[in-house]
Chains A and B, each alone.
Chain A
Amino acid sequence: MHALIHLSQSTPGIFLTWGVFGIQLGNLIVIVSMFVVFGLALVVPFPRGAREGRESRESREDMK
């Protein structure tokens, strides 16, 4: 555990550079993840709640 603590304090991180642009890998992963989660939130269907499911079942039964 103390070795892990020591490692967490001494590792400088991995830096990626393209010309004048540079970013730490951890920061890049977080930013890319935010874009991915934002995109998924727009397209992934939302689970239907118990109340909504009950109401839609009742409305279907009323129509019969």
Chain B
Amino acid sequence: MTDSQLPQPTLEPEPEDVDHSWSGRLRRWVLKVLPPEKLLPTSQPSYVATWIYMFGMGAIASLVFVIGSGAVLSLNGPMWWHLSPLGHFFNSLHLWSVEFFFFFMVIHLWAKFWMAAWRGNRALTWITGVVSFAVSIVAGFTGYLLQTNFDSQWIAYQAKDALNASGIGAWFNVANFGQMFMWHILLLPIAVLVIVALHVLLVRGHGVVPPLDAAESDSQLRETTPTEATSREA
């Protein structure tokens, strides 16, 4: 029996073997849009080896410290840092990790703006980045309201006028410590983590955007942008 006579294994499943359950369909969709080699790549294009591509990861590293120090602070409550040197240390760690989070995120934003990072079907990646920035500002703002000192009282009573003028103050009451506390330690951290996770998955799915002068090296840009050769033909 020759090789050609042997039954050949087929990669495509037979139609009757296809699992039509929601989990089967979801698994096929996930593997199609985010195969393992894209989800956990072992190498990156050469243009990524520059400092300007490092700030997104810097922001994520800072976010890990923000969440970790915030979890420790939540064990002892918002007044802990007034009374304990250890509490003051973790409060300072929380503050400075937030400072670095915004520091890196803003430079990441500048870098991606100037390289037009929405090119090549990456619009949703750009939008999730903008949304995560906006939600992070609200998270930072509610954090300033929880300092339990005159500073937080001043910020709350200045902010209420702006929020009341916009109409949102009717239910988002910055003078309500309990409400702001729950937003800061539950709702907003979940929102930031979900949006940042989606942002990272989109970056993995579409690949890191190349610099403007290396656009031809990106398969997605070749698909969406007419090359010099094709435009000449047209």
Which residues on A are within 8 Å of B, measured CB to CB?
A: 1, 5, 9, 30, 33-34, 37-38, 40-42, 44, 46, 48-49, 52
Contact = CB atoms under 8 A, between A and B. Distances in A.
A14 to B, nearest CB: 16
Interface in B29-52: 49-52
B150 interface: yes
A41 B149 contact: no
B8 to A, nearest CB: 37
A34 B51 contact: no
Interface residues of B, number: 19
Contacts of A37: 103, 107
B149 A44 contact: no
Given A5-B88, A46-B49, A41 B111 contact: yes
B103 A52 contact: no
Secondary structure at the B interface, as helix, strand, loop or mixed, is helix
Given A5-B82, A52-B49, 10 more contacts: A1-B88, A9-B151, A38-B52, A38-B107, A38-B111, A41-B50, A41-B107, A41-B111, A44-B51, A46-B50
A34 to B, nearest CB: 6
B49 to A, nearest CB: 5
B99 interface: yes
B54 interface: yes
B52 A42 contact: yes
Interface string B60-81: 0000000000000000000001
A49 B103 contact: no
B225 to A, nearest CB: 24
Nearest to B147: A9
Nearest to B82: A5
Given A9-B149, A34-B103, A49 B111 contact: no
A30 B49 contact: no
B199 to A, nearest CB: 20
B82 to A, nearest CB: 7
A30 B151 CA distance: 20
Contact of B150 (A9, A38, A42): A9
Nearest to A42: B52
A38 B110 contact: yes
B55 interface: yes
B25 to A, nearest CB: 38
